[in-house]
Structures are given as C-alpha cells and as structure tokens.
Amino acid sequence: MAYTRTVTVVAHEVFVRTVEVPDEIPAEPFTAITGGRATAAFTAAGGLLVVALALMPAITALFHQ
C-alpha cells in the first residue's frame, strides 16, 4: 500500500488529506499484432501503401522531366 497526501490552503486554513492507495496489479503482456499471417500481411500491405503515397510526388516528378 502507498499513501498520497494532499495539502490544501483555503483562507489561511490548512487542510491535509491522506488517502491510502492500493498497489497496482501487474499488467498482462500483449502483442500489438494478433491474428497470425493474414493480419501481418494486411499490416505490411498498408505500410507499403503509405510509403507509396508518400513517394508519389517524387515518382511523378521523375516521369515529367
């Protein structure tokens, strides 16, 4: 257990509030991509699409010289 203390001053009066905070439960490990090969392939295809769209002005400029 941990304790959190809050000190508040209102109109020259001091108020102290102490709260007992329970310990956190450790988080479960997780992976960002779940679902196997299909999800991984879809994610890779989406990444390639983003790269292609980002390079589109440079690719277009090459063909218009």
Total-model pTM: 0.41
Is residue 61 pLDDT above 60, yes or no? yes
What 3 state SS string does the chain have? CEEEEEEEEECCEEEEEEEEECCCCCCCCCCCCCCCHHHHHHHHHHHHHHHHHHHHHHHHHHHCC
Per-residue confidence (pLDDT) for residue 32, from 0 to 100 = 64
Per-residue confidence (pLDDT) for residue 24, from 0 to 100 = 82
6 in the Ramachandran plot: left (φ > 0), alpha (ψ -120 to 50) or beta? beta
As a whole number, mean pLDDT of residues 11-31 equals 85
